[in-house]
Chains A and B, each alone.
Chain A
């Protein structure tokens, strides 16, 4: 299994500002994933964070808006830049070794006012 510590758990931010979300894993993992859950919706993958290379973004998500860092095999950050109320969502990080169980952080509930 894997234990993931995600911070902050929630935040209320002004539009036009940026928020950086951190995920710390208790063991080394190759792949980390960032998901977004808009209110009342399912989870959508934002990007896959690979250590030592640039993140791979899904259609509809761009690096300028959601820059990701992955400095080592246990840590990643997601920044939500130049926020608008439409960015109000739950953001979750996840790890999986592929072909096995995936684990999620506690989630970050973001409200943009």
Chain B
């Protein structure tokens, strides 16, 4: 299956700082999503972004499909942004439609 690599694995920030999380993938994708996993284990959909740029409040994401990477930007971070951020992709070929491959995640800790 497709390989999904996220960096950095861990990120520690002071409240108010900005950060960029990266997701690289090894093959063409139909779908790319960013999730935030809360302390209870629930996956919160942040962005569905197979290509282009989207913004939602303090968060924005950019996917450059031709170069096989995506970036998640968090501006003016808050303590509530803490948690694990996952990138997940759906492979174009050789895989079940709708099946996602996940990266290992970025553990973000924001200190007050």
Interface residues in chain A, defined as those with a beta carbon under 8 Å from any beta carbon in chain B: 9, 31, 33, 37, 41-45, 48, 56, 90, 92, 94-104, 106-107, 109
Contact = CB atoms under 8 A, between A and B. Distances in A.
A98 B90 contact: yes
14 contacts: A31-B97, A31-B98, A37-B41, A42-B102, A43-B102, A48-B99, A92-B41, A92-B43, A96-B98, A99-B30, A101-B31, A106-B41, A107-B41, A109-B40
Contacts of B31: 96, 99-102
Interface residues of B, number: 22
Given A31-B96, A98-B30, A104 B42 contact: yes
Contact of A43 (B42, B48, B86): B86
B82 interface: no
A101 B41 contact: no
A107 B90 contact: no
B104 interface: yes
Nearest to B104: A42
Nearest to B92: A99
A48 B55 CA distance: 32
A42 B41 contact: no
B48 A101 contact: yes
A45 to B, nearest CB: 6
Contacts of A42: 86, 102-105
A77 B23 CA distance: 32
Nearest to B49: A101
Which of B43, B96, B102, B105 has its CB near the most chain A CB atoms (within 10 A)?
A: B43
B25 to A, nearest CB: 14
A95 B98 CA distance: 8
Contacts of B30: 98-99
B91 to A, nearest CB: 11
Interface in B90-112: 90, 96-100, 102-105
A100 B97 CA distance: 10
A97 B41 contact: no
